Amino acid sequence: MNPILDVRNVRKVFENNVAVNDIDLQIRQGVIFGLLGPNGAGKTTLIRMITNILYPDSGSISLNGHTDGRKRMMEIGYMPEERGLYKKMKVGEQLMYLAQLKDLPFKEAEKRIKNWLVRFDITDWYNKKVEDLSKGMQQKIQFISTILHEPDLIILDEPFSGLDPVNTNLIRDEIYRLNEEGATIVFSTHRMEQVEQICEEIALINKGNKILQGSVKEVKQEYKLNRFEIELSGNIPEISNPAFEILEQRGQKQILQLHEGYESKHILNAYLQSNADILNFNELLPSLNEIFIRKVQA
């Protein structure tokens, strides 16, 4: 299956700073994709080229199989980290203006705006000025403006920044719902713990370079350290076994390092033979943040 977004050898240089260095990036239709990296990694520059705000110095970008930048802009919903609402405009006028920039007919835009304001329980704010809204409320309006034209690709740059837990959950639920309805979503952030909860696939970017890409499950499996945690009840037996070593004791829990050439069943067999009462046994997979640090420091 061809990817909905296909970025090939894209490069962008500002004076002597290489912001994006020959990046390849393919994103499948219908996934929630995490674009990860620290601040200054090149994520926003890459996104601005995808959305046709900036032009790459070299390389190509295609969406739905075409490279037309203007058409690409109309098929993408982009919520930048730097929120872009007009403070003096009323909420309803703001949303209508932004909808019509995406060629959404007036009547259809009006219907969708009302539906979304009801959905977010903010109909009372239709005639309020944006500057009178709280930061969280403004973020809701920005989110609505991003997805109002029902784009094929939705790009959210740090969408939870500044939101309280209630509104974070609200926006997260809408991300899931839009994805279930067929939208492809790119979630850009430096908060890697959020991505583990939301995204199916990821790319890690550092200093303008893509350093890895894959599904969250595949990446964690690839970079696992073969460490396990076992929780015991009662007396903890003293075990010496060539298959593993005990790295750490945490109360009734032990952290174990499996040696090369052995399998997890060898750990279980050793504890069962010692008549240990096993409450829990699981593999410890690395977090995305741990994987990123290992890749950057390699």
CA distance 38 to 105: 39
Predicted pLDDT at 277: 92
Strand order in the sheet with 58-63: 17-27, 5-14, 58-63
Which residues neighbour 228 within 8 Å (Cβ) at sequence distance 6 or greater?
A: 244, 255, 256, 258, 264, 267, 281, 282, 283, 284
74-89 pLDDT tens trace:
999 999 877 678 888 9
CA distance 216 to 218: 6
Coil, helix or strand at residue 187: strand
Look at residues 68, 63, 77, 79 and name the one whose alpha carbon lies nearest to residue 28: 63
β-partners of residue 129 are 90
Please give the class, per CATH, of domain 5-221. alpha beta
- Domain residue ranges of the chain, discontinuous segments joined by +: 5-221, 223-297
What is the phi/psi pair of residue 142, to 5°?
-65, -40
46-70 pLDDT tens trace:
999 999 999 999 999 999 999 998 8
CA distance 194 to 287: 11
pTM across the whole model: 0.87
CA distance 98 to 73: 13
The fold for domain 223-297 equals: Alpha-Beta Plaits (3.30.70)
224-256 pLDDT tens trace:
999 999 999 988 888 999 999 999 998 999 999
Residue 200: pLDDT band with limits 50, 70, 90:
very high
Query: For residue 104, which amino acid is it?
Result: L
